Structure formats: structure tokens, C-alpha cells
């Protein structure tokens, strides 16, 4: 991939996305354009239905736009085949979702290790990094606990550690505090902000909460599928 420091890490241009639900046609995105530079922390803020999560899914290669383009490190993602897209999602991007998406049969350490196992990294190296990440997020005493034995805030901390296991260039967080009370959510935001700052992480976060969005130096407001 092209690491030219003059290029944005991520560039979206004229993105459009429409869903067909029965006889209804729903325009979710209507010509979105913006750039994300390396080490940026950007919040995508908007009401429910404004297209925030859809946009995040497109940026992370989980879905494709109907029209428009997304470049990552100068490369058009539309030219990538399934194998390269899968490698991008596994190695270059870390995902943090509102619903955590931890595997219930795996303990915290195993959940964090999973993306690196998929990448076929050496087992000892993976386990060592996963332990260090769980220590970093304050869960050193919860390594062998399964998701059902963890609180919501603890599950989100496991999810953040999992997102970081492969040292991604880009972290995408979709309503990371959405299922948490204000106190616990504040702790998750403190953690994300410190990780972004200390590791030079590029972070794009979706939220409907103005207090959460205010933690980001840059905020893009989405209204009816457009940047306001």
C-alpha cells in the first residue's frame, strides 16, 4: 500500500448507498465526501437513520457503495478482490461495535487472540500481545472469563483489545458507548482517547451523542445522508 505522507490515509468521494426494502427505496447516503489523515480522530455524528453506520461499514470494507469511491493509502478499494478486502479488514482495520460481537464460547484472552490467529501469526507472539492488551485495558484479572461473566463495559474493553491485536492503521468504532451507562461509557471514551493519543491511532467513531462526539478534535455532522 502507498504510505506517501502527503496522501490522506482514507479518502471518500461522492459516496451513495441505497437500500431496497420491499417496495420501498431508502437513500441512506447521498454524495458523501471527506478525507481522514493519519493520526486523525474524527467523530461522525448524526441522528438515527442519518447514514452513520452505513458510512462506517463502507469505510471498513464491510459493504460497497452504489457509486462513488474510497481510497485507502492512495489505492481505490473498488479494485480489490475478495482476498485483498478480507486481508484489509483483518490486518489494516480494527472494528469496535456497539454490540461487542464477542464469541460466547471463548474467554477474553481467546476472543482477543482470534483476529491474529486468522492472520496465522505465531501463537506465542499472539498470546503475549493479547495479554499485554488486556492489561492495557484494565482486564488483567479477567483473562479466563467468558463474555457472559463480564459486564458490558468489560466486554467493550475486550472488544477494543481485540480490535488492536493486529496493530491496524485505522480503528473504526460504531457507537462504542451506545449500550453503556454514562459512567461506564465515559471510561470507555477515556480509554479510546488515550489509546488514540499514545499510539498515534487513526480513529473514526460514529455516535449520536453530542457529549461523546465532543471528545473528538474533528466532528462531521451527517443529516439525511449528507455532510451538513
Q: How far apart are CA 213 and CA 219, in angstroms?
A: 7
Domain residue spans of the chain: 10-103+168-227
What pLDDT is stored for residue 37 in this prediction?
95
Confidence (pLDDT) at 3: 55
pLDDT the model gives residue 5: 60
Give the lowest-confidence range in 21-35, 70-84, 143-157.
21-35
The string of pLDDT tens digits covering residues 91-122 is 999 999 999 999 999 999 999 999 999 999 99
Characterize 178-199 residue by residue with b for buried, 16 or more Cβ atoms within 10 angstroms of its Cβ, and e for exposed. bbbeeebbbbbbebbeebbeee
> Which residue matches cell numbers 453506520?
53
Residue 4 clears pLDDT 70, i.e. is over it: no
Res 43: pLDDT: 96
Neighbouring C-alpha atoms within 13 Å toward the C-beta of 127: 6
Q: What is the mean pLDDT of the chain?
A: 93
pLDDT tens across 181-206, in order?
Answer: 999 999 999 999 999 998 888 999 99
Q: Is the pLDDT of residue 2 over 70?
A: no
- Please report the pLDDT score of residue 168 as a whole number: 95
Give the Cβ contact number of residue 81 at 10 Å.
7
CB-count burial class (<10 Å; 0-12, 13-18, 19+) for 4: exposed
The CATH class for the domain spanning 10-103+168-227 reads: alpha beta
Amino acid at each position: 500500500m502507498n504510505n506517501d505522507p502527503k496522501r490522506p490515509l482514507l479518502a471518500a468521494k461522492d459516496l451513495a448507498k441505497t437500500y431496497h426494502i420491499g417496495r420501498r427505496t431508502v437513500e441512506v447516503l447521498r454524495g458523501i465526501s471527506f478525507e481522514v489523515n493519519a493520526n486523525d480522530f474524527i467523530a461522525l455524528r448524526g441522528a438515527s437513520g442519518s447514514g452513520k453506520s452505513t458510512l462506517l461499514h463502507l469505510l471498513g470494507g464491510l459493504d460497497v457503495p452504489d457509486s462513488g469511491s474510497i481510497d485507502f493509502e492512495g489505492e481505490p478499494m473498488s479494485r480489490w478482490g475478495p482476498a485483498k478486502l478480507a486481508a484489509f479488514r483483518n490486518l489494516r482495520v480494527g472494528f469496535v461495535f456497539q454490540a461487542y460481537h464477542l464469541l460466547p464460547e471463548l474467554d477474553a484472552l481467546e476472543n482477543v487472540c482470534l483476529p491474529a490467529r486468522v492472520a496465522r501469526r505465531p501463537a506465542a507472539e499472539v498470546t503475549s500481545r493479547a495479554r499485554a492488551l488486556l492489561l492495557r485495558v484494565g482486564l488483567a484479572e479477567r483473562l479466563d472469563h467468558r463474555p457472559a461473566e463480564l459486564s458490558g463495559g468489560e466486554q467493550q474493553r475486550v472488544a477494543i483489545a481485540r480490535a488492536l491485536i493486529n496493530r491496524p492503521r485505522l480503528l473504526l468504532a460504531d457507537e462504542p458507548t451506545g449500550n453503556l451507562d454514562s459512567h461506564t461509557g465515559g471510561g470507555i471514551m477515556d480509554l479510546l482517547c488515550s489509546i488514540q493519543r499514545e499510539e498515534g491511532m487513526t480513529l473514526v467513531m460514529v455516535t449520536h451523542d453530542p457529549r461523546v462526539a465532543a471528545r473528538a478534535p474533528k466532528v462531521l455532522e451527517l443529516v439525511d445522508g449528507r455532510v451538513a
